[in-house]
C-alpha cells in the first residue's frame, strides 16, 4: 500500500487539563475528499487545528500520537511552514478574513509566503476569479461589506492563493443559504477534479457524505465509524444519529 498523503495516528490532544481528542486515527490520500462528521463539540475543529499546527492557546496541545505528511512527522512544525512547505491550508470556521482590507488585498496577503514564481501566482489569481466571478466583480470592495457567502468564497480563494494542494475546510456551509451552499460545493468539487485534496469537516452530515469519497464519524473525541461515503450513509447508527433517521 502506498503511504497516504496525510496520516493522523492515535492523536491525543489537550486544552489545558481537558483532553479533547482521545486517540484519533485517520488518513487522507492524495486527490481524495475525506470528511469528518460529528455533533457540536465532538472534536472536529480541534483535529483540523492540530493538523494546521496552530500554536496554543488557539489550538490544543498534542500529548500523544503523530501527524504525518508523506510519511514524515510534522509535529512541532510552524503553522506558516505547513502552508508554505507542505501546501496545506486551513479555511477556519468564521473565515478570519481581514474585514478592513479589500478583496484584492486579502488575496494578495495570501501569496506572501509562496516560494514559487509570479507565473504560478498569476495562474492562481485567474483560477480564483474564474471559480468565483463575484470576487472579481468586488475586487475593490472592503471585505467586511461582503455577504456571508462571498466571505466564504474569499476564504477559499485565499487558500488557493496560498498555493495549497490540500485544503482543510471547517464548516464551509455555515451560514450559507442553500443555493450558495450548493454553489460552494460545486466549486470545491471542481477544485478536487483539478487535483486538490480536500479534508472537510461538517455538521451537515448529509451534505458532507454526498460530497466526500470517504468519511469518519467523530464522537466526543473518538472515531466511532468510518468507511466510504456510501457505506456510512447506509450504516444504521450513522443514519439514526447524524442523517435524520
Ligand atoms: P463545533 O462544530 O461545535 O465547532 P467540533 O466538533 O469542531 O464542534 P471542537 O471545537 O473541536 O468540536 O471542540 C472539541 C472539544 O474541545 C469541546 O469539548 C470543546 O468544548 C473543547 N474546546 C474547544 N476549544 C477549546 C479551547 N480553546 N479551550 C478549551 N476547550 C476547548
DSSP 163-176: T-SEEEEE-TTTT-
The answer to whether the CB of 40 is under 6 A from ligand 1 is: yes
| pLDDT the model gives residue 77 | 95
Residues 6 or more apart from 150 whose CB is under 8 A from it? Answer: 134, 135, 138
**Is the residue at 55 inside a domain?**
yes
**Is the residue at 38 inside a domain?**
yes
* Residue identifier of the C-alpha nearest atom 30 of ligand 1: 15
* Residue identifier of the C-alpha nearest atom 25 of ligand 1: 15
Q: Tell me, what CATH number does 154's domain have?
A: 3.40.50.300
**Is the residue at 68 inside a domain?**
no
**Is the residue at 15 inside a domain?**
no
How many domains in the chain? 1
H or E element, residue 181:
helix 178-193
| pLDDT the model gives residue 49 | 94
H or E element, residue 222:
strand 222-228
Q: Is the C-alpha dihedral spanning 84, 35, 149, 45 positive or negative? A: negative
**Is the residue at 153 inside a domain?**
yes
3 state SS of 179: helix
The answer to whether the CB of 15 is under 6 A from ligand 1 is: yes
Find the 140 Cα to ligand 1 centroid distance in Å.
Answer: 36
The answer to whether the CB of 50 is under 6 A from ligand 1 is: no
Find the 118 Cα to ligand 1 centroid distance in Å.
Answer: 39
Radius of gyration of the chain (CA): 17
| pLDDT the model gives residue 3 | 83
| pLDDT the model gives residue 1 | 62
Q: Which atom of ligand 1 is nearest to the CA of 171?
A: 2
**Is the residue at 19 inside a domain?**
no
The answer to whether the CB of 45 is under 6 A from ligand 1 is: yes
Structural domain of residue 95, as residue ranges?
Answer: 30-61+77-215+222-243
pLDDT per position as a tens digit, 184-231: 899 999 999 999 999 999 888 999 999 999 999 999 999 999 999 999
Find the 47 Cα to ligand 1 centroid distance in Å.
Answer: 10
Q: Which atom of ligand 1 is nearest to the CA of 38?
A: 6
Nearest to 74 by CA among 57, 58, 87: 87
3 state SS of 96: coil
**Is the residue at 157 inside a domain?**
yes
| pLDDT the model gives residue 154 | 94
| pLDDT the model gives residue 149 | 85
**Is the residue at 128 inside a domain?**
yes
The answer to whether the CB of 112 is under 6 A from ligand 1 is: no
| Regions of the chain short of the pLDDT cut 70 | 1, 245
Amino acid at each position: 500500500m502506498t503511504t497516504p498523503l496525510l496520516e493522523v495516528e492515535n492523536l491525543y490532544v489537550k486544552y489545558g487539563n481537558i483532553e479533547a481528542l482521545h486517540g484519533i486515527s485517520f488518513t487522507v490520500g492524495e486527490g481524495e475528499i475525506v470528511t469528518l462528521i460529528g455533533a457540536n463539540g465532538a472534536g472536529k475543529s480541534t483535529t483540523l487545528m492540530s493538523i494546521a499546527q496552530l500554536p496554543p492557546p488557539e489550538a490544543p496541545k498534542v500529548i500523544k500520537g503523530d501527524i504525518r505528511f508523506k510519511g514524515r512527522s510534522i509535529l512541532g512544525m510552524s503553522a506558516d511552514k505547513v502552508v508554505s512547505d507542505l501546501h496545506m491550508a486551513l479555511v477556519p470556521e468564521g473565515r478570519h478574513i481581514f474585514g478592513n482590507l479589500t478583496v484584492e488585498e486579502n488575496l494578495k496577503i495570501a501569496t506572501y509566503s509562496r516560494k514559487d514564481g509570479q507565473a504560478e501566482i498569476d495562474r492562481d489569481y485567474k483560477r480564483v476569479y474564474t471559480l468565483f466571478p463575484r470576487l472579481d466583480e468586488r475586487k475593490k470592495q472592503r471585505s467586511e461589506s461582503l455577504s456571508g457567502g462571498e466571505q466564504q468564497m474569499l476564504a477559499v480563494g485565499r487558500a488557493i492563493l496560498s498555493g495549497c494542494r490540500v485544503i482543510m475546510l471547517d464548516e464551509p456551509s455555515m451560514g450559507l443559504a442553500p443555493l450558495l451552499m450548493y454553489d460552494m460545493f460545486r466549486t470545491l468539487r471542481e477544485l478536487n477534479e483539478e487535483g486538490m485534496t480536500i479534508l472537510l469537516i461538517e455538521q451537515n452530515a448529509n451534505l458532507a457524505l454526498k460530497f466526500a469519497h470517504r468519511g469518519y464519524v467523530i464522537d466526543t473525541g473518538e472515531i466511532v465509524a468510518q468507511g466510504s461515503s456510501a457505506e456510512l450513509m447506509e450504516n444504521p447508527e450513522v443514519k439514526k444519529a447524524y442523517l435524520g433517521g
